[in-house]
Chains A and B, each alone.
Chain A
Amino acid sequence: MNLFQTIFTGSKQALAAAEGIVKQAVDEKGRDCKVAFPDTAYSLPTFYAATGKKVTTVAELEAALDVVRSLIVEEEMLDKALNAGLATAVAAELVEAAKYVLSDAPYAAPCAGFISDPIIRSLGVPLVTGDIPGVAVVLGECPDAETAAKVIKDYQSKGLLTFLVGKVIDQAVEANVKMGLELRVIPLGYDVTSVIHVVTVAIRAALIFGAIKPGNLADLLQYTSERVPAFVNAFGPLSELVVSAGAGAIALGFPVVTDQTVTEVPTLLLTQKDYDKVVKTSLEARKIKIKITEIPIPVAFAAAFEGERIRKND
């Protein structure tokens, strides 16, 4: 299957998944049931930023599916493929919102799920000053826990903020990677759709710090691609859904680096099979330059360890 068809297929799968869970929400909670993510003034941030409309009830959630449908135009041109990627992002947000409708606490430790506004505001300053030089989204599954830890710790030691999605969370736990907001490693969730919770970080950054007007999609995409230094590392076999979500990342201006053989697109979608080079490849792809003052000490040293707690057993 060619790349564009893979993206369209993934987007249609995302749409179908969203339709399924929204129907479940309608059936179980009724159309008048409230819809909201915790601690945010931006409703469903992706949907709000793209359309300027807030989703407050399940009925509106159901209606929002039309936006996803309208974004999937199966014509093999780049803009259509990127739109299909955005459709997947919106569909993922609808799925995640429905999870919060169906359950009061859909996420449990170590997974963070939705990231609240206060956290994003707290990240704003270090992002602007370059104290956080980049945002890494690591999703999927590495060949082993050791490799996963190596990559994540490398980002951590460089001060990047790293979000984890999928089995890589378990691998990080297995390899004793210390996680938490203060350590700049945040596990989001095991479903692919939970990646939307980092997308909304970028989107809310544009709304909060970039003062982008909700509904102005073009400005939003420009802001994220120019000002939010994020990128994606997708490890392990890639489903159509993941590729389609990747197209959404590319639409936001975030390059995708994978260890899989894919149809590469220079600077945007890259294959790097050498795990020792994944970090360098990613930083170069996102043009992230890190000022390094190396201090020869036997432990990792970085701002990311500032909030670390030393437990009794350590």
Chain B
Amino acid sequence: MSEKVLSIDKTTVQMLDKAKKDGVETAWDRKEILKASCGFGLAGVCCRNCTMGPCRVSPVPGKGAERGICGATADVIVSRNFARMVAAGAAAHADHGRSIVLELLHTSPDGAIKVKDEKKLKKVASRFGIETEGKDVYDIAHELAQAGLNDFGRQYGSITLPPTVPAKRKETWEKLGIVPRGFDREVVAIMHSTHVGCMADAEEMLRMSMRCALADGWLGSYMATELSDIMFGTPHSRPTEASLGVLEDNQVNIVLHGHEPSLSEMIVQAAEMPEMIELAKSQGADGINLCGMCCTANEATMRHGVKLAGNFMQQELAVITGAVEALVVDVQCIMPALAKLATNYHTKFITTSPKAHITGSTHIEMDEEKPLETAVGIVKEAIMNFKNRDKSKVVIPNVKTKAEVGYSTEEILNKLDGVVNSQIGPMQSAKPLADVIVAGVIRGAAGVVGCNNPKTVHDEGHLEVIKGLIKNDIIVVVTGCAAQAAAKAGLLTKEAKELCGPGLKKVCELVDIPPVLHMGSCVDISRILELVGTTANHLGVDISDLPVVGIAPEYMSEKAISIGTYVVSSGIDTWLGVVPPVTGGPAVVDFLTNKIEEWVGAKFFVEPDPHKTVEQIVERINEKRKKIGI
């Protein structure tokens, strides 16, 4: 059997070789061991929502079992399973957002977590109707946190939508009855309706999913981003480096992995303390080297330029280098396999959140009252572990790539100010972006987001899609693991303009930006919504009128399903590079890839081939341009 190409990332291939030599297994091995996936699960036609089952119905209409024991059809089962994926994804972002809101509630001028961006605090507070004139900053912060918490648990009325939602979009949602009520309520509602003997109408089930997903995008994730900026600072462009090669030979390597910025913020602070650096030196190290993985990495790099060690499928590989003293995690997308893997090396696998205990890990719970002290303790653990490193087992790939990160919506508007004629104005507006899109200098904009998935060649989907789009003068913004793929490949540099079409290249030169803009973590997809909404409002059109698309070439998580659903519901066509488990429900497939367009002006496209994806996107973007006459 010929060796299948697993990744186009060289360091990944190198580390997979080392894994084999070291006799340890990775996610790719486990995928192999699992052999072919169950066809019923793949098609979404397996239901375990009660103990009469498990039931599995035929994914082929008119053949075999057509109904489960309760009588649920394939479409009903598929739609319920899909809805639960949305609910889980939304719940993950909800809880992330909730922690952030609670942190804002506990900010104080002498605490470890303070208000860093007062301007943003006031802006967000006023959109929640909070009076800010002459008020103490921390009073505003606490009031805002209360208002946010109210929306999470709201029992009547609907959530406070940001002003970036165009009026037409809001009308559409109101007409469809999908304006979210409380965030938690929407998750609970799905869990209720997917219970046996409840919702048995695929279309209505999907409508509920859309409502729940919207609460994620425009509330949970949106607030997580805004409030993180308020406490930890709004990101501005800054340089960093990416790839597994950012691990240092003679430094204490601490890899931050997970999602919530509060952990990484505290550890960044702790690792910069002179006494910690002294301690590291006393242990024979040259210093402390902080690196990140997944979305925590994105948060820390956006605000501090922390180096990007790698993305989702590389989390085990970091340990396999043998050079990681501590792998510190909080929540989400942390492979439990890390606990066992770490026992083969000196690496300390440290869990910190009560929401994500992992058997076999060292658990140092983040004390919310004393977060910095907890972080100092963790950094110390890492430092004291340096002497245990077995140098004979260390292989750090000799590859690192420069990248530019930190493109928050605010930073993008700042950059755009650079091309505004001061005699014409206005400043701090999306007008320059809207202008170049309307003129056709750039054809459109794409958000490339999402995970890694061993069903696809690691990073290939991300990179081929991104390169294809920029070549066609479509500007790309990235978040999550897609962003790290781009960073490792050198696409987050100004030099990458050479890979662009002529229009995008010109824009990159004029605005002085890379053609691929790192906008942050997965909750920061709300930044993309903000930018698109602002642009739509500037032009006086709906989001669905704009030539913008979303793509998740290698997605895997339920969060990605929720994200895709709120992006489509917001009026943005979304391409999925991995087939979601819906193929067994013809009505569901028809709804998601066809009928939903009548509802919200956008739909899902499923296309595993990245090159075909690019062709379809270019075609669709040109259609949209034609429709509004640009």
Contacts and interface: CB of A to CB of B under 8 A. Distances in A.
Interface string B509-527: 0100000000000000000
A277 interface: yes
Contact of B443 (A3, A76, A271, A272): A76
A271 B424 CA distance: 8
A292 interface: no
A265 B443 contact: no
A263 B436 CA distance: 9
Interface stretch (B201-209, B371-379, B500-508): B500-508
B64 interface: no
Interface in A174-202: none
Contacts of A285: 421
Contacts of A81: 440
B424 A281 contact: yes
Contact of A78 (B420, B423, B501): B501
Contact of A77 (B423, B435, B473, B629): B473
Contacts of B424: 270-272, 277, 281
A284 B501 contact: no
Interface in A1-29: 1-4
Interface in B456-504: 473, 501-503
B436 A265 contact: yes
Contacts of B420: 266
Contacts of B423: 272, 277, 280-281, 284
- Top 8 nearest A-B pairs (CB, nearest first) are A78-B503, A79-B502, A266-B419, A281-B423, A266-B432, A78-B502, A277-B423, A264-B435
A228 interface: no
10 contacts: A77-B501, A77-B502, A78-B473, A78-B503, A78-B506, A266-B420, A269-B439, A272-B424, A277-B423, A281-B423
B117 to A, nearest CB: 27
B441 interface: yes
A194 B222 CA distance: 56
B435 A2 contact: no
A157 interface: no
Which interface residue of B416, B422, B438, B503 has the most chain A CB atoms within 10 A? B503
Contacts, number: 68
A77 B471 CA distance: 11
Contacts of B625: 2
A78 B443 CA distance: 10
A3 B419 CA distance: 20
B547 to A, nearest CB: 12
A3 B435 contact: no
B421 A281 contact: yes
Interface in A68-89: 76-79, 81-82
A116 interface: no
Contacts of A280: 423
Interface residues of A, number: 24
A3 B432 contact: no
A266 B440 contact: no
Contacts of A76: 440, 443, 622
Interface in A250-267: 263-267
A65 B186 CA distance: 67
Interface of A: 1-4, 76-79, 81-82, 263-267, 269-272, 277, 280-281, 284-285
Nearest to B505: A78
Nearest to A276: B423
A1 B630 CA distance: 7
B440 A4 contact: yes
A267 B419 contact: yes
A258 to B, nearest CB: 12
Nearest to A272: B424
Interface of B: 416, 419-424, 432, 435-436, 438-441, 443, 473, 501-503, 506, 510, 622, 625, 629-630
B515 to A, nearest CB: 14
Contacts of B441: 78, 265
Contacts of A1: 629
A277 B416 CA distance: 21
Nearest to B443: A76
A3 B510 contact: no
A238 to B, nearest CB: 14
Contacts of A264: 435, 439
A269 B510 CA distance: 13
Given A2-B629, A78-B440, A78-B501, 17 more contacts: A1-B629, A4-B439, A77-B473, A78-B441, A78-B503, A79-B502, A82-B502, A265-B439, A266-B416, A266-B419, A266-B436, A267-B510, A269-B439, A270-B421, A271-B424, A272-B424, A277-B424
A107 to B, nearest CB: 34
Contacts of A79: 501-503
B421 A263 contact: no
Contacts of B436: 265-266
Contacts of B419: 266-267
Contacts of A2: 440, 625, 629-630
Contacts of B510: 266-267
Nearest to B506: A78
Nearest to B433: A266
Which interface residue of B420, B424, B436, B629 has the most chain A CB atoms within 10 A? B424
Contacts of B440: 2-4, 76, 78, 81
Contacts of A4: 439-440
Contacts of A270: 421, 424
Nearest to B510: A267
A284 B443 contact: no
A285 B422 CA distance: 9
Contacts of A3: 438-440, 630
Nearest to A7: B440
A290 B438 CA distance: 33
A81 B442 CA distance: 12
A57 B419 CA distance: 45
Contacts of B473: 77-78
Given A78-B473, A281-B421, A284-B422, A266 B501 contact: no
Contacts of A267: 419, 421, 510
B438 A284 contact: no
B420 to A, nearest CB: 7
A4 B419 CA distance: 21
Contacts of B435: 263-266
Which interface residue of B420, B438, B441 has the most chain A CB atoms within 10 A? B441
Nearest to B628: A2
A285 B423 CA distance: 10
A31 to B, nearest CB: 37
A263 B438 contact: yes
A266 B441 CA distance: 10
A89 B140 CA distance: 60
Which interface residue of B420, B439, B443, B629 has the most chain A CB atoms within 10 A? B439
A267 B423 CA distance: 12
Nearest to B422: A284
A4 B626 CA distance: 12
Contacts of B503: 77-79
A2 B441 CA distance: 11
Contacts of A82: 502
Contacts of A263: 435, 438-439, 630
